[in-house]
Structure 1
Amino acid sequence: MQSPETPPLTAPLILTLTLNAEAQAYFDALRRQHFPPERNYLDAHLTLFHHLPGDQLPALSHQLTELCQAQPPLLLQVNGLLFMGQGVAYKLESAALENMHRMLQQSWWPLLTPQDQQRRRPHVTVQNKVRPEVARTLHQQLTETFLPFEAQGIGLRLWAYRGGPWELLRTFSFQG
C-alpha cells in the first residue's frame, strides 16, 4: 500500500528553472499586469521540459538531486523580447543552461515527447492567449524601453500537470 506521501503519479511532470528572487519578482509583476487573469494560474517560469512521465518521479528526482548538488547557479542573459502571435515573452540565453538541458535531454531521450526532444529556446512568458493586436502592442511597448539584463538560475522545480494549476512536487537548489 502507498503511503500518503508517495501516491502513485500518473500526471505528466513539468521541469522548470528557478530564477533568482529579483528576476522572479520582475517577471511576476509583468505577468500579473499583462496575462489574462482567468488563465494566470502560475507565477512566471522558464520551462525546460513540458511532459515527463509521472511514473518516473522517483528516478527523475534522484537524478535531479545528484545534478543539483554539483551545479552552480547559472548566469542568464535576458537579451530581448519575443512576439509569439498571441503573447509576449522575454528571451534568455545561457551556454551553461543549454549544456545542462542537452545533458538531461540525452539522458531522458526515450521518455521525451517530440516537443521535449527539440532544442530549447529559453524564454519567460509574460502574456499569452490574447488577441494578436494586443500582443503586438505590448511587444512594441516593452521593446521600446528594453535594456538587456542578467538573471540567475538557482535551481529546478518539478511539477505535476493536472489540467490547470500545476502542483509543485519538488524543489532542487543548485549547490555547486
Structure 2
Amino acid sequence: HTPQTPNLESHVYILTLHTTPSISHPLTQIRSEYFPPHLNRTPAHITLFHALPSSKYSTFDHDITEVAKVTRPYRISTGRPFRLRRGVAILLDAG
C-alpha cells in the first residue's frame, strides 16, 4: 500500500480491530500455516486503516477515542476467503 497523504510521512499507523480469541485464534492458526514465515510478524488481524499519517495522530486519536466511547461490542463472523492483488482476505459479516 502506498499512502496517499499530501506530504511524505516518516511514520504511518495501522489501525486494527480488536477481536476475541474465538475469532483471532483460529485465524492466526490459519495464517501461521499458510502465510510465508519470513513475512509473518503479526497475528491475524482485521485492518481498518492501512496508513494513518503520523502528522495527524492527535486528530485521529481523538476521533477514534470518541467513536470507541459510544460503540458497544458487537458480534462478527467470518465468511469465505477471497483473493486480493497480492494475497488473500476473509469476508466478515455481522453475527
TM-score category of the 2 structures, normalised to the smaller one = 0.7 to 0.9
What 5-or-longer segments of structure 2 have no aligned partner? Answer: 1-8
Q: Does 1:89 align with 2:89?
A: yes
Higher helix share: 1
Counterpart for residue 80 of structure 2: 80
What's the counterpart of residue 63 of structure 1?
63
Structure 1's 89 and 57: CA in aligned 2 closer, same or farther, altered over 3 A?
same
Spell out, residue by residue over 1:96-135, the C-alpha distance to the aligned partner (whole angstroms, 9 max, x if none). Answer: xxxxxxxxxxxxxxxxxxxxxxxxxxxxxxxxxxxxxxxx
Q: Which runs of 5+ in 1 are unaligned?
A: 1-8, 95-149, 151-176
Runs of 4+ residues deviating >6 angstroms: none
Q: Percent identity?
A: 29
Query: Which structure: larger Rg?
Result: 1
Map of 2:37 onto structure 1: 37
SS across alignment from 2:77: strand
Tell me the distance in 2 between the aligned counterparts of 1:85 and 1:68: 31
Higher relative contact order (CA 8 A, sep 6+): 1
Q: Secondary structure at the match of 1:37?
A: coil
RMSD: 2.0
TM-score, normalised via structure 2 length: 0.77
Q: Secondary structure at the match of 1:60?
A: helix
Count residues with an aligned counterpart: 87
